[in-house]
Amino acid sequence: MGSVQIVTTILAAAITAVAVWLAVRAVSKMVAVIRLGQPDPTRSGDKISRTRTMLAETAGHTRMLRWSVVGAAHWFVMVGFIVLSLLVLEAYFEVVSPTGGLPLIGGWTLYGLVTEWIGILGVVGIGVLIAIRLANRPNRAGRRSRFTGSTMWQGYFVEAVVLAVLVMGFLIRGFKVATDHFEYPTWATPLSHAVGAALPGWESGVSVAALIKISISMVWVIVISLNVTMGVAWHRFLAFPNIFFKRRPGAAGSGLGALRPMMSDGKPLDFEEADPEKDQFGVAQVEQFTWKGLLDFSTCTECGRCQSQCPAWNTGKPLSPKLLVLSLRDHAYAKAPYLLAGGGKDLTGEEKATAAQLAHVDVLALAEAEKPLIGDAESGGVIDPDVLWSCTTCGACVEQCPVDIEHVDHIVDMRRYQVLIESSFPSEAGVMLRNLENKGNPWGAPQNTREDWTKGLDFEVPRVGETEDFEYLFWVGCAGAFEDRAKKTTRAVATLLNEAGVSFAILGEGETCSGDPARRIGNEFVFQMLAQQNVETLNEAFEGREKAKRKIVATCPHCFNTLGNEYGQLGGEFEVVHHTQLLAHLVATGKLTPVQPVDGGVTYHDPCYLGRHNRVFTPPREVLGSAIEGELTEMPRNSERSFCCGAGGARMWMEERIGKRINVDRVEEAMSTGARTVAVGCPFCSTMLTDGVNGKGAGEQVEVIDVASVLLRSVKPEQVGGAEETTPVTG
Ligand code: SF4
Ligand code: SF4
């Protein structure tokens, strides 16, 4: 070992020792913070499916690749990072000796070839990511940049380190070529040979370059260890467990759909026995999120994909799912010293720690602990109420997140505490909640008018109880029974089912609201009250039938989602289909025959709770494809990336006071296609988009109608404007 190698070896060992010590300290801190969260026993089952999903989403980049160029570039950087780790390890042999290399695989041509090309593609990949970050700089693109609010220096730092380490790898190899110590043939390692041709034959160049490479890598470790909230770096390690523990690992897409039940101490809350002084009602303190919630916050890469798709953010509202997650993360880590010292409030609001326990806690942590989780700027709140109530629960954030963060569950958990304990929510929604409690529907319509939509039909609509002989229970829903536009859809669906010879029956006055708006606003108590009543009614209606024969067809995606995905949590197991699925099947099997194509251009708006939440993208398009002239015109934002109408998450019953109206934004997009018909598959979308069209003064040129009505016009053109489409007068 020469004198240069003695120095490089000592320096490499010293900086590595510091980095390892800091990294161990940082990991211990992160684990301790994540363990502060509440238990969640639902995350450990089905390990095979979890492992498969984790491998597919990491090694296969299945979610990232939907952003094709970014996804491909990131894949090479990720693989480059893994391979880089081997090359960093190799550098420890090179600081000791210029001819050093990895034992066993070092010198193997295949190893040289693979590392060479991964290195080259890694340089290209990181170059692309740097270019994308620069092109989307917040100071240029403002709110339109997905990086707005991200900690930019951290992103640049991480990318610069990756680039520098890759470049140093080629320099080391170049010096080996120049000093004739390189074992790999030129065909396998062309760039290394090209670099070597330009370098002097300096023996110690290898060891010095290896020391620089190790130093850059260890500075990276030191910086991220001193910044445990640096998700842009830590996600390289945390993404694996976060994806492994995702809520529904086997489900297609992002596993949206059912909302997480309200839990206390790891068990679903039963309102018959629940006590707010003993049980946790939603989330009022950051440590009341589960450990998975805290892992979510720690894992955020600050990539901003969620933000770029969020309808609230895109229409000028203060909510960005990314900024919400970052606020919760920063608050959790800032408050952690106080919590780890034993601090925290019990469910009656009393401090749990003694003065002695808190005596040595940092003053900043104590100040952080005093911040209300939800509160405006004046009260120093972590999350502003306008942020919390802007969410439509559309799921675009969850769908886009490459590391499977579950924003919607966290938002609703915070809403639950605000509604159930603080009674703090937009006042106009109070009318809806009172109507649900007293009348069983959000509009407060009399229950005895639920069947009024059947008046004037030229066939009998059978009721459950009057007939046992029905294949489908037609779940009409509150909108379908009381709201004028939605009643047209209900009548169109009933007419088509009758035409196709499908035996169905309705509950009529036995039906109440599915509970979706109550659950999404955070009133789990009202949701459970309504849901239990419906589950009982439905179980009675299907008594004696196995699950496969407990078939329900629903026109409202919110009912479809709640009945199909959430009633199971309360003992109601049903086979629920959306009417567009059933209609597509009836057309495909020849039971319904479209005869007159609807013309004038048609576009389709994917309802969030049908599309993203339940992945029903194709059937409505198949129905429209069979009934219209020419091709369906897609909007730029469609399918998984469809833009919300603004009504979900109980926003239908709240005023939209901030920013541009979401429905107007969507209507402008629909109208930009030139289509004269905007087809929908949801009564709320129908209302919102019709209002948007009318607001733009385009009611004469553009019509918003349900997919079922489009099909009916094609199947029974003689009935256009006739009984099935006419709204009967309600009592
Ligand atoms: S669910 Fe939709 S509205 Fe809510 S934060 Fe996510 S993207 Fe935004
Ligand atoms: S998409 Fe996921 S990782 Fe990216 S900023 Fe949003 S929450 Fe963070």
Rg (C-alpha) for the chain, rounded Å, is: 30
Pocket of ligand 2 (CB under 6 A): 300-306, 321-322, 325, 400-401, 403, 405
* pLDDT of res. 67: 66
Alpha-carbon 562 to chain mean position? 18
Alpha-carbon 324 to chain mean position? 13
Phi/psi of residue 188, nearest 5 degrees:
-85, -30
Task: State whether residue 485 is helix, strand or coil.
Answer: helix
Given pLDDT bands bounded at 50, 70 and 90, which one contains residue 64? low
* pLDDT of res. 65: 61
Average pLDDT (380-401) is: 96
Cα 309 to ligand 1 centre (Å): 8
Give nearest CA residue, ligand 2 atom 8. 300
Average pLDDT (222-238) is: 93
* pLDDT of res. 142: 75
Cα(678)–Cα(707) distance, integer angstroms: 9
Give nearest CA residue, ligand 1 atom 3. 391
Amino acid sitting at position 481: A
CB 254 within 8 A of CB 401: yes
* pLDDT of res. 720: 63
Q: Counting every residue, how long is the chain?
A: 731
CB 683 within 8 A of CB 477: yes
Instruction: Enter the pTM of the model.
Output: 0.92
Cα 454 to ligand 1 centre (Å): 37
> Residue 253 pLDDT more than 80?
no
Give nearest CA residue, ligand 1 atom 6. 397
* pLDDT of res. 404: 92
Whether residue 321 has its Cβ less than 6 Å from ligand 1: yes
Cα(34)–Cα(45) distance, integer angstroms: 20
> Residue 328 pLDDT more than 80?
yes
Tens digit of each residue's pLDDT (9 = 90 or more) over 407-439: 999 999 999 999 999 999 999 999 999 999 999
Cα 656 to ligand 1 centre (Å): 15
Whether residue 392 has its Cβ less than 6 Å from ligand 1: yes
* pLDDT of res. 60: 74
CB 645 within 8 A of CB 607: yes
366-370, 472-476, 495-499, 723-727: least confidently modelled range: 723-727
* pLDDT of res. 731: 29
Cα 167 to ligand 2 centre (Å): 29
> Residue 729 pLDDT more than 50?
no
Task: Kindly give, in sequence order, each residue whose CB lies less than 8 Å from that of residue 45, ignoring residues fewer than 6 positions away.
Answer: none
Burial of 130 (0-12, 13-18, 19+ CB in 10 A): middle
Given pLDDT bands bounded at 50, 70 and 90, which one contains residue 103? confident
Given pLDDT bands bounded at 50, 70 and 90, which one contains residue 2? confident
Task: Kindly give, in sequence order, each residue whose CB lies less than 8 Å from that of residue 58, ignoring residues fewer than 6 positions away.
Answer: 78, 239, 240, 243
Whether residue 408 has its Cβ less than 6 Å from ligand 1: yes
User: Among 292, 301, 404, 411, which residue has the most ligand 2 atoms within 8 Å of its CB, making it the best to mutate?
Assistant: 301
The string over 188-212, giving b where at least 16 C-beta atoms fall within 10 Å of a residue's C-beta and e elsewhere, is bbeebbebbeebeeeebbbbbbbbb
Given pLDDT bands bounded at 50, 70 and 90, which one contains residue 45? confident
User: Among 260, 315, 392, 561, which residue has the most ligand 1 atoms within 8 Å of its CB, making it the best to mutate?
Assistant: 392
Could you tell me the CA-to-CA distances from 635 to 463, 598, 674, 687 in Å, in that order? 39, 19, 10, 19
> Residue 55 pLDDT more than 70?
yes
Average pLDDT (88-100) is: 89
* pLDDT of res. 676: 93
Cα(195)–Cα(197) distance, integer angstroms: 5
Cα 391 to ligand 1 centre (Å): 5
Give nearest CA residue, ligand 1 atom 7. 310
Cα 144 to ligand 1 centre (Å): 16
* Percent of the chain scoring above 70 in pLDDT: 97
Cα 30 to ligand 2 centre (Å): 19
Give nearest CA residue, ligand 2 atom 2. 401
> Residue 662 pLDDT more than 50?
yes
- Residue 342: Cβ within 10 Å count: 14
Atom of ligand 1 nearest to the CA of 393: 1
* pLDDT of res. 675: 93
18-22, 119-123, 333-337, 702-706: least confidently modelled range: 119-123
Given pLDDT bands bounded at 50, 70 and 90, which one contains residue 606? very high
Cα(34)–Cα(292) distance, integer angstroms: 8
Cα 244 to ligand 2 centre (Å): 17
Task: State whether residue 183 is helix, strand or coil.
Answer: coil
133-147, 222-236, 440-454, 561-575: least confidently modelled range: 133-147
Taking the CA of 408 as reference, the closest ligand is 1
Cα 267 to ligand 2 centre (Å): 28
